[in-house]
A and B are shown apart, each in its own frame.
Chain A
Amino acid sequence: MTAYWPWWAGAVGLAVLTIGYTLAADRPFGVSGAWERVLHWRREAELERKEAEFTDEQALVAALGAATAEHFGTLPAAPAPAAPVSVSSPEPPDAPATDGRRRGAHPRPAPLVTQAVLLVSIFVGGLIAAVTSGQFHVRSDMGAGYRHLVTGNPVAMVALLFAGGVLVGFGTRLAGGCVSGHGLNGCGRLSPVSLVATATFFGTAVAVSFLLWKVI
């Protein structure tokens, strides 16, 4: 059996990469969002190109509102009035950032190419870990655990892995996040939607795993 990291090393590793990304990129971290953008790269690239054309923020907000209304078939929201500008008590340069500009509050997703790099580098990081730890071994099954707990039939295995993948892809995008986006980043921010999503997908996975272990 491969010796995996102790729990505390895993906790520190996951925390450091999530915090580091948030501070360095000024954006929330999430893998399913990267899949979404990379798999719709034509549309996302077009959106990036159009966004780059807008230099006026009000025009950008109006255009985004119209595009959202068109996508969801709803009426565009009335444009918000410009925020009053206070000249009597300007925020000092070293003051804590206000709500809209706190760290990790960047409204736009990371550029498309950077999210493709994220997915490729996850693979490379996994490859380095597997090779250096002696875990790398090409196999045509998913291991003894999958064989015993789910199925040992190769055709059923392929069908279940594909169905599981579809559920993962569809479910994470419907829920707006996955273990990294909702679980680490969202729960780390104490976001109510992420706490609900994480409790739900973890609870469901626990129930299905017990079924596989004890019943099926």
Chain B
Amino acid sequence: MRSRGGVLLANLLTGLALGFTVTRIGFGDYTELNRMLTFQDSRMLLAVLGAIVIIASVFALLRVRRGVGRLHAGVVPGAVLFGIGWAISGGCPAIPLIQVASGYLPALVTIAGIVVGVRLCRWCSGRFFRIDRGSCEG
């Protein structure tokens, strides 16, 4: 399934599954997120770690290529900024979408912030810093 239609179907089904799954895990609930990040409740943390273990095992069995992304100068500063934003807004890039879908209207402001942040990063890239991020697509 590598045709344009196949990739379209894969994105459609994966998006539906991701939205459904993260909502039912509780990632859109700020209280649950804070309880995970302060280790008061291990349920969501185990869900993510368990998923990584399963994915790594299956990828190893199927001989899926290990990542080729390079450790460029933007990785650590970018991850620090993301970590701060995640903790204070409760949103990684998919979560505000499911927060709005659950009725949290203020998450629309988080989405507006993400739009500004993504566009700002590309605007700054080349003007104020030059980082070759390679082909990392995540």
Taking CB atoms, residues of chain A closer than 8 Å to B49 are 11
Q: Does A73 contact B (CB under 8 A)?
A: yes
Residues on A with beta carbons closer than 8 Å to the beta carbon of B31: 143-146, 149
CA–CA, A25 to B14, complex, Å?
Answer: 10
Are B69 and A39 in contact, CB atoms less than 8 angstroms apart?
no
A1-29 contacts to B, CB under 8 A, are 2, 4-29
Complex CA gap A36/B52 in Å reads 24
In the assembled complex, which residues on chain A have CB atoms less than 8 Å from the CB atom of B55?
Answer: 14-15, 18-19, 184-185, 187-188
From A7, A129, A189, contact of B19 by CB (8 A):
A129
Q: How far is the CB of A24 from chain B (nearest CB, A)?
A: 4
Report the minimal beta-carbon distance from A77 to chain B, rounded to whole angstroms.
11
Contact A149 to B89, CB < 8 A, known contacts A125-B17, A127-B19, A174-B81:
no
**A interface majority secondary structure:** helix
The interface bits of chain B over 42-74 (1 if a CB of A lies within 8 angstroms of the residue's CB, else 0) are 111011111111111011001111111111101
Task: Compute how far the CA of A79 lies from the CA of B127 in the bound complex, rounded to whole angstroms.
Answer: 27
CB distance from A161 to the nearest CB of B (A): 4
| B contact face: mostly helix, strand, loop, or mixed | helix
Q: Are B82 and A172 in contact (CB under 8 A)?
A: yes
Nearest CB on A from B3, distance (A): 10
Minimum distance in angstroms from B79 CB to a CB of chain A: 4
Interface check A123, CB cutoff 8 A: yes
Q: Do the beta carbons of B15 and A119 come within 8 Å of each other? A: yes
Q: Which residues of A contact B77 (CB under 8 A)?
A: 171, 174-175
B21 shortest CB reach to chain A, Å:
4
Q: Least Cβ distance of B55 to chain A in Å?
A: 3
Bits for B5-44, please: 1 = Cβ < 8 Å to A, else 0.
0111111111111111111111011111110011100111
A174 touches B63 (CB 8 A): no
Q: How many residues of B contact A (CB 8 A)?
A: 118
> In the complex the two chains form, is B92's CB within 8 Å of A172's CB?
yes
Interface size on A, residues (CB 8 A): 138
Contact partner, A146, options B23, B30, B76, Cβ 8 Å? B30
Query: Once bound together, how far apart are the Cα atoms of A175 and B85, in whole Å?
Result: 13
In contact, A206 and B37 (Cβ under 8 angstroms): yes
Residue in chain A with minimal CB distance to B100: A123
| A144, B98: Cα distance in complex, Å | 18
Q: Once the chains bind, are A212 and B87 in contact (CB under 8 Å)?
A: yes
A-B contact pairs, 19 of them (CB 8 A): A5-B26, A18-B55, A20-B14, A24-B6, A25-B7, A74-B130, A111-B4, A126-B19, A126-B22, A128-B16, A136-B103, A140-B106, A149-B31, A165-B115, A167-B81, A167-B88, A168-B110, A187-B56, A190-B66
Residues of A within 8 A of B (CB): 2, 4-36, 39-40, 68, 71-74, 96-97, 99, 102-107, 109-111, 113-115, 117-130, 133, 135-146, 149-150, 157-158, 160-194, 196-198, 200-210, 212-213
- Residues of B in contact with A (beta carbons under 8 Å apart): 1-2, 4, 6-26, 28-34, 37-39, 42-44, 46-56, 58-59, 62-72, 74-94, 96-107, 109-122, 126, 130-138
